[in-house]
């Protein structure tokens, strides 16, 4: 979200911002949802309109991402978008643009996000003499970006799926902020599905082959996008930027970055370090197993460190974990963090502690009583058996004979 100076409301626009914002998807009121005072446009595209606004409840600037009308009319698309908004709200990191809320009324839906003053890396790149940076210039940004991706992949189990210079904002203080975690790709997917478009959920020059084919998203898609982003920042162009991009993403290995600089007649720039060439080439591997397995590993490789220990196992693929959404009224969509149970105060000990007598003594008495009754019944049965045998059998000459046979007949 590049910085913009707020514009004063136009008294002649009849209470809407259509004249001041050009031709938005919808005719928007100057006060959206009865709370957000719209000021001026920050950006627009097929996936919506982003407007700088003032939250009159809190007196703070916010960025309002207005959802395209085609998505607003589809119940399934709105449900998917709400799910991604919830996931975005769970990301708490100083280098991630915060997602505040999802708002909706009868005619409009919008995502309310943190407003970040600054410029995207795509805009900053265009201001460079050759349209690109050197490794030493972008390394401080990558030292901020890679921990963000590590946090999202390892801790939150969320992939960005639309990582590119346009979604990376540098503030005047030098802080890098990552925007649109998961939201942009979900909007792309919904708009393309509803409009029967053959486009993709991400941005083709930065998409991995697996994402382009619609396979299950994983953190290794972001590793590919990270490599494509570094490639563009160092050469002025992404790995594939002309012709049939999707076919090249699937089948063609991009040229080395120095070869691309010579191709664009930028060969007078200093040679890129071998570690950077090798790391970016590995990120752009067609197969996920050939890529660095984490963003932390990417940063370690760029710094020329050998013997790195990936924080994510090479056999582990971090999927985008679905999040259950509790149905709620459209205007009552809020994130409620899960409350963790209080830790137990029981102290472990190696000695066996006897149970309280008051609890277990009655049980023991009942058990002893049952055993005594059973023993008495056994004794009685044995006595009856012996008496029966004595009355019916007699020992004669070491032989046991029935009593009837021991008496001679008369």
Classify domain 1-115 by CATH architecture: 2-Layer Sandwich (3.30)
Residues in the chain where the model's pLDDT stays below 50:
2-26, 306-360
If DSSP states are collapsed to H, E and C, what string results for the chain? CCCCCCCCCCCCCCCECCCCCCCCCCCCECEECCCEEEEEEEEEECCEEEEEEEECCCCEEEEEEECCHHHHCCHHHHHHHHHHHHHHHCCCCCCECCEEEEEECCCCEEEEEECCCCEEHHHHHHCCCCCCCCHHHHHHHHHHHHHHHHHHHHHCCCCCCCCCHHHEEECCCCCEEECCCCHHHHHHHHHHHHCCCCCCCCCHHHCCHHHHCCCCCEHHHHHHHHHHHHHHHHHCCCCCCCCCHHHHHHHCCCCCHHHHHHHCCCCCCCCCCHHHHHHHHHHCCCCHHHCCCCHHHHHHHHCCCCCCCCCCCCCCCCECCCCCCCCCCCCCCCCCCCCCCCCCCCCCCCCCCCCCHHHHHHHHHHHHHHHHHHHHHHHHHHHHHHHHHHHHEEEECCEEEEHHHHCCCC
The segment(s) of the chain belonging to CATH 1.10.510.10 are 118-321
User: What's the pTM value of the predicted model, to 2 decimals?
Assistant: 0.68
User: What is the CATH code of the structural domain delimited by 118-321?
Assistant: 1.10.510.10
Tens-place pLDDT, residues 302-355: 998 644 444 444 444 444 443 333 333 333 333 333 444 444 433 343 344 444
Active site positions, annotated: 162
Distance of CA 231 to the CA centre of its chain: 25
């Amino acid at each position: 979200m590049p910085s913009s100076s707020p514009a004063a409301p136009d008294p002649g626009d009849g209470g809407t911002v259509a004249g001041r914002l050009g031709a938005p998807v919808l005719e928007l009121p100057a006060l959206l949802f009865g709370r957000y005072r719209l000021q001026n446009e920050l950006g627009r595209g097929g996936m919506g309109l982003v407007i700088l606004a003032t939250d009159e409840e809190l007196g703070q600037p916010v960025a309002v991402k207005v959802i395209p009308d085609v998505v607003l009319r589809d119940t399934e698309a709105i449900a998917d978008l709400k799910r991604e908004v919830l996931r975005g709200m769970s990301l708490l990191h100083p280098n991630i643009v915060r997602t505040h809320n999802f708002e909706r009324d009868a005619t409009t839906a919008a995502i309310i996000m943190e407003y970040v003053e600054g410029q995207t890396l795509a805009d900053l790149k265009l201001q460079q003499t050759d349209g690109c940076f050197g490794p030493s210039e972008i390394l401080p940004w990558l030292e901020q970006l890679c921990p963000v991706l590590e946090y999202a992949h390892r801790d939150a189990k969320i992939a960005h799926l639309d990582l590119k210079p346009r979604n990376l904002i540098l503030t005047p203080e030098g802080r890098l902020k990552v925007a649109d975690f998961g939201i942009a790709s979900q909007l792309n997917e919904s708009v393309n599905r509803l409009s029967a478009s053959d486009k993709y959920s991400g941005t083709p020059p930065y998409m991995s082959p697996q994402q382009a084919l619609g396979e299950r998203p994983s953190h290794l898609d972001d590793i590919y996008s990270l490599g494509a982003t570094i490639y563009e920042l160092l050469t002025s162009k992404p790995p594939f930027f002309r012709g049939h991009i999707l076919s090249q993403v699937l089948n063609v290995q991009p040229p080395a970055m120095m070869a691309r600089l010579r191709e664009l007649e930028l060969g007078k720039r200093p040679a890129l370090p071998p570690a950077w060439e090798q790391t970016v080439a590995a990120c752009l591997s067609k197969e996920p197993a050939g890529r660095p397995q984490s963003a932390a590993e990417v940063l370690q490789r760029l710094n020329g460190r050998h013997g790195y220990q990936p924080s994510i196992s090479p056999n582990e693929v971090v999927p985008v974990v679905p999040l259950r959404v509790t149905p709620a009224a459209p205007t009552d969509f809020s994130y409620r963090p899960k409350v963790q149970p209080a830790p137990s105060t029981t102290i472990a000990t190696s000695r066996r502690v006897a149970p309280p007598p008051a609890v277990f003594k009655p049980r023991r008495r009942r058990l002893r009583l049952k055993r005594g009754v059973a023993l008495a019944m056994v004794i009685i049965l044995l006595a009856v058996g012996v008496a029966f045998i004595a009355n019916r059998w007699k020992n004669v000459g070491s032989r046991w004979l029935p009593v009837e046979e021991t008496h001679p007949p008369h």
